[in-house]
Amino acid sequence: MNIIFGPIHSRRFGTSLGIDLSPSKKQCNFDCLYCELDPAKTMGSYEDVISVDEIIAALQKALKEHQNIDVITITANGEPTLYPYLSELIDRINKIKGSTETLILSNGSTIADKAVQDALLKLDSVKLSLDCATDACFKKLDRVHEGITAQEIKEGMLAFKKRYSKPFIIETLFVKTLNDQEEHIAALNEFFLTLKPIRIDIGTIDRPPAYAVKPLSYEELHHIAHLFDPSLPVYIASRKKVESKPSSYRDEEILQTLSKRPLSPEDIVILFDDESQKRLEKLIKEDKIKSIETNGVKFYKKA
């Protein structure tokens, strides 16, 4: 049973050791059409539970083997917040982690639960998914377990955000025709403007999905990013399906583009040709464009 996986290197979080709270099988209260795990019946609580002692022993061994780990990431073959001893586990991790940061990746379904919030407050970063802002979308795309509602998740996120002062990141995965229409984005946009997460990572299907659903191209994600309010820190996290070639941008076009939506260095490389990138450098030197950083991700925006 592989409880610990990694190290995995990510530009945003550094070198991470992952903890899988459900190593034996998929245990989730969602059955997302895009899941990279096999389809499985949803459940409201774990059927197979490993002990905190077992997890801590595996983590201690891995931390001894791998020095210089930046972050311990709590995740699962399924939903990690369904693990019944999450709070106790986080307390034990915090005792042995030293200066290593902690992070959880959750589907956000349980965030209205005060006990889950209390546990997550003890982590250094929290990343929750939100693919949909309405029940109709949730039912079609994430195929949530009975009783889970969009309203409860959104209220839970707002309540948690009020209590949590450390980085709270949202991840939204877009799937063709299921949550990429303007009405879907408008509903998410309205909620994000109230929630004000530190960053919103938008992406699409990167690995073979459980069901026959289609990813979006980079260009489609870029279009979606522009549908969100420019004040929202939307970051395009998937760049695999790039269809277009970099284009030429004049100085004014660069300034206009960055005034509408800040772009990451990765977006710049995809969108701007070499000459345009040089123009961007010049505009940075002239203080017409500045770079900002939010939780490890750099953006360029108009000064």
Distance CA 38, CA 63 (A): 30
Residue 32, interface with ligand SF4 (CB under 6 A)?
A: yes
Residue among 79 and 180 whose Cβ is closer to ligand SF4 = 79
Query: CB of 238: closest distance to ligand SF4 in angstroms?
Result: 14
Q: Tokens standing for 124? A: 């250094």
Q: How far is CA 72 from CA 7, 47, 245, 247, in A?
A: 9, 24, 37, 40
3-class secondary structure, 129: strand
Query: CB of 228: closest distance to ligand SF4 in angstroms?
Result: 22
Footprint of ligand SF4 on residues 75-94 (CB under 6 A)?
Answer: 78-79
3-class secondary structure, 301: strand
Q: Which of 35, 86, 103, 205 binds ligand SF4 (CB under 6 A)?
A: 35
Q: Which of 3, 4, 19, 28 binds ligand SF4 (CB under 6 A)?
A: 28
Residue among 37 and 242 whose Cβ is closer to ligand SF4 = 37
Residue 31, interface with ligand SF4 (CB under 6 A)?
A: yes
Which segments of the chain are extended strands (E)? 4-10, 14-20, 71-75, 101-106, 125-129, 168-174, 199-204, 234-236, 289-294, 297-302
Closest Cα partner for 201 from 187, 213, 210, 188? 188
The upper half-sphere exposure of residue 187, i.e. CA atoms within 13 Å in the direction of its Cβ, equals 18
Residue among 104 and 280 whose Cβ is closer to ligand SF4 = 104
Query: CB of 171: closest distance to ligand SF4 in angstroms?
Result: 10
Give me the phi and psi of 25, to 5 degrees please. Answer: -165, 170
Footprint of ligand SF4 on residues 123-162 (CB under 6 A)?
Answer: none
Residue among 35 and 157 whose Cβ is closer to ligand SF4 = 35
Residue among 77 and 257 whose Cβ is closer to ligand SF4 = 77
Query: CB of 35: closest distance to ligand SF4 in angstroms?
Result: 3
Binding site for ligand SF4 (CB under 6 A): 28, 30-32, 35, 37, 78-79, 107
